[in-house]
Amino acid sequence: MRFDASPGTRARRLLWALAIYVGVTLGLLVCASAAVLREHTPYDHFALLAEAWLKGRLDLGGPPPDYARGNDFAAYHGKWFVVFPPFPSVLLVPMVALAGDAEAVADGRLFVLLAGLAPAVLFLAFEKLRRSGESQRTELENLVLAALFCFGSVYFFCSLQGTVWYAAHVVAAVLTAAYLLFALKAERPLLAGGCLALAVATRTPLLFAAPLFVFEALRATRLPSPRGRGLVQGYAVGRCARLLLWFALPLALVLGLGLWHNAARFDDPFEPGYRYLSIAWAARIAKWGLFDYHYLARNLGVMFTSLPWLPAQGGAVQINGHGLALWVTTPMYLWLVLAKRWSPLARALLLTAALVALPTLFYQNTGWVQFGYRFSNDYAPLLFMLLAIVGPPLRGAFMLASAFAVIVNFFGALTFGRPEHAKFYAIDPTQKVLYQPD
């Protein structure tokens, strides 16, 4: 049988996706610190949870290890728990089982190796947009956008950390990219629902990405000629219902498991355990809750106005522990504001991105400590899909902004979380300092 990788073939798209994965992974391995690749990270919560499961426990079986410094563990009725959505721990179970315990696993290395999947799968989604006529991008432009997703956004620095908070963003980005690929035209409802369900079991705000599939299912089942005057008469109702049912099935299963998991640990299906965290700002959570309007101004300030600090007496530039504004790390997003022609799919993607962003805008934490606004990873795949559809040609000012983004994010990737480069970061343990003091 002759292998055909000519333009427009499935084989060619898969080969390019593989090339993206290999190229991005090699780049990340070169940039990663030796410690991340060789040792367990200091905040290996997912590996510790995997070890607990292998021992038949939902709690850790004792206090967390000293090297984790008690950071973001929940204490309830004398037991210690990992409260983060647990799917990344599932990925670590085989490694922990083979190694014998969590401390013998270089957990960060796994997440570095997984990170290249997100831009690779996103490229396939870009190509699907091109085949359907939603995007006018060339194959080369889609390759460039896929590379920019990794190296021109905060996904870059997150990919190299390996610790619990950033690892979740890596796994969720891979699953979100796959969800977008399968949700387009509602072609793979079960796979779309499964990927989104696992994404929600990694980063809870991604539950708000579900409306995109509903929109695509309605679009795919709309009849050329309505059968009557009623609203439902314009759609193939039976087919639409089947698509939505297959999509909802894995979501319902995973959400049900999550409710059981909460009840088994904290005696309440709707209690994930965050209010039992032993953290410095527990009083803030007790007073205002995990989500509240009280946090909105601060989160918007970090998202849109946080800039590097230039010391008055000279010295190294500094970045606040709350991170840089989104438009500083990824200025290409500014072109979405300038876009004039919005297709129905583009509007649906924009609405979905806004819905996914809402929970973290009202969340008690800005993402601290970070190089850039890391919560944007939740909806970055959606924004890059929008750039593929309504963004400008890849030339001129846009490409200058892209080059700037790559330089900025390379700086973050090579300095954030590394003790030898601590001088570049102003970390205020109280979290109260957002802007450079006078």
State the pLDDT at residue 99: 96
State the pLDDT at residue 228: 61
For residue 324, give the DSSP letter: B
Give the residue ranges of DSSP H helices in 233-379: 237-266, 282-288, 296-305, 326-329, 334-338, 344-361
Where does residue 98 rank: exposed (0-12), middle (13-18), buried (19+ CB within 10 A)? exposed
Q: pLDDT-derived band of residue 18, with 50, 70 and 90 as boundaries?
A: very high
Q: pLDDT-derived band of residue 225, with 50, 70 and 90 as boundaries?
A: confident
For residue 291, give the DSSP letter: B
Peptide bond into 317 cis (omega under 30): no
State the pLDDT at residue 227: 66
Is the pLDDT reported for residue 233 higher than 80?
A: no
